[in-house]
């Protein structure tokens, strides 16, 4: 069962990115913007997790600078706006999350070899 919102700890476990890094990326990338609940805690949605996974791949795996990662995110945003409705229809969120988890798992496995 999928959740609507995830805590910073849950996102950290799902993505393999430390909470302090998530908070730092929040300051650098406007695309990563978790809202805060009434208690002042960050709550992440599925699209935030996708951004985190993309940033993890770009910065930690492909060794992009933060400026380079920002440029890639901006280009991806432009590309998604320019597509037709049919083309922009993506996979269901559940499938995207599963694929992201598999990607993280495989990347971690590759790093261990």
| CA gap 80, 9 in Å, rounded | 29
More confident residue, 29 or 4: 29
Q: Determine the length of the chain.
A: 113
Annotated domain spans of the chain: 8-112
pLDDT tens digits, residue range 61-113? 999 999 999 999 998 888 776 654 344 346 676 777 778 778 777 877 877 77
pLDDT tens digits, residue range 9-34? 999 998 999 999 999 999 999 999 99
Specify burial of residue 48 (Cβ count, 10 A radius: 0-12, 13-18, 19+). Answer: buried
Q: Would you say domain 8-112 falls under CATH 1.10.1660.10?
A: yes
Does residue 1 carry a pLDDT above 60?
Answer: no
- In the block, tokens 């083309």 appear at 87
Question: Quick one: pLDDT at residue 90?
Answer: 60
| CA gap 101, 104 in Å, rounded | 5
């Amino acid at each position: 069962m999928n959740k609507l919102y995830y805590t910073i700890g849950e996102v950290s476990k799902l993505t393999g990115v430390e909470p302090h890094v998530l908070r730092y990326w929040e300051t650098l990338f406007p695309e990563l913007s978790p809202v805060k609940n009434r208690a002042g805690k960050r709550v992440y949605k599925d699209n935030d997790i996708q951004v985190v996974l993309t940033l993890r791949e770009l910065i930690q795996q492909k060794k992009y600078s933060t400026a380079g990662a920002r440029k890639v995110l901006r280009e991806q945003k432009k590309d998604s706006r320019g597509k037709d409705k049919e083309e922009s229809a993506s996979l269901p969120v559940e499938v995207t999350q599963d694929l992201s988890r598999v990607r993280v798992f495989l990347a971690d496995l590759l790093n261990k070899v």
